[in-house]
Structure 1
Amino acid sequence: MINYTLKCANDHRFDSWFQSADAFDKLKAAGMVTCAICGDSHVEKAMMSPRVRPARTAATAKSSQEPAPAEPAAASLSQPATEAEVALKKLRKQVEDNSDYVGKDFAAEARAMHEGTTPGRAIYGEAKLEDAKALVEDGVPVAPLPFNIGRKTN
């Protein structure tokens, strides 16, 4: 496996793993390599520093002579790292603050509001794929959320 740093025509940079350099070339030629941020198909390899491990003998000799340099602190995994993650976090907060969570009853609640048997309000929850498709086919205005709800209903 090989990890490439890629950039699109809009100068978005992202990393992606490929089975080999040839695999990257084949996928790119087939138009299957797109920007992870904007979907642009004009993607090129970006400059990146190689990850080269020293030989075992050199590594053990160096470690006995001098302390290893401190590595930069890793980014916190609990905080958003990109603009897209920040936007998703903001959207999630807005949905949770301004909507009622109805859990597994989402399809029934949405249908009842659409038919006028329940007062309309902003809701979010969970629905089976076939129930969501039926809502869309019946003209009920619903949309999937671009994040996991992560609530337990028990």
Structure 2
Amino acid sequence: MIRYNLTCDNGHAFEGWFSSSDDFARQAEAHLITCPTCSSASVTKQLMAPSVSTARKKEARQALVMDKAQKETITKVREMVKLIRENAEDVGERFPEEARKIYYGEAEQRGLVGKASTEEAIALLEEGIEIAPLPMLPDDSN
């Protein structure tokens, strides 16, 4: 998404979000963009500086959000998750099936990681199979 600073012909400033520059041009030409203050459909983009994400900016944002103790905790949890993954077999979607095989003695005892729906995880726990989710940490999905 692209955020544009916009101005109507009456000088009111506002912002709009568009999927692309062409999307803005198409909507503006069709008079689909209107000023929230006066409803004018004569809208233009204002000059904007590009927003470039850098590692320094990312660190600055994290510094605002997390203190030193929180950062250390996240680092330790990340190391723990890495250690678990390094010492386990990733069975993906077969996790519930493989966990049951181990629990019922149909497969050798070993560490597993994989995926299970909430319903599958509850069923495993109700059967007495000890499982635990691995935490999703900041930046894991970015």
Normalising by structure 1, what TM-score? 0.44
Higher-Rg structure is: 2
Normalising by structure 2, what TM-score? 0.48
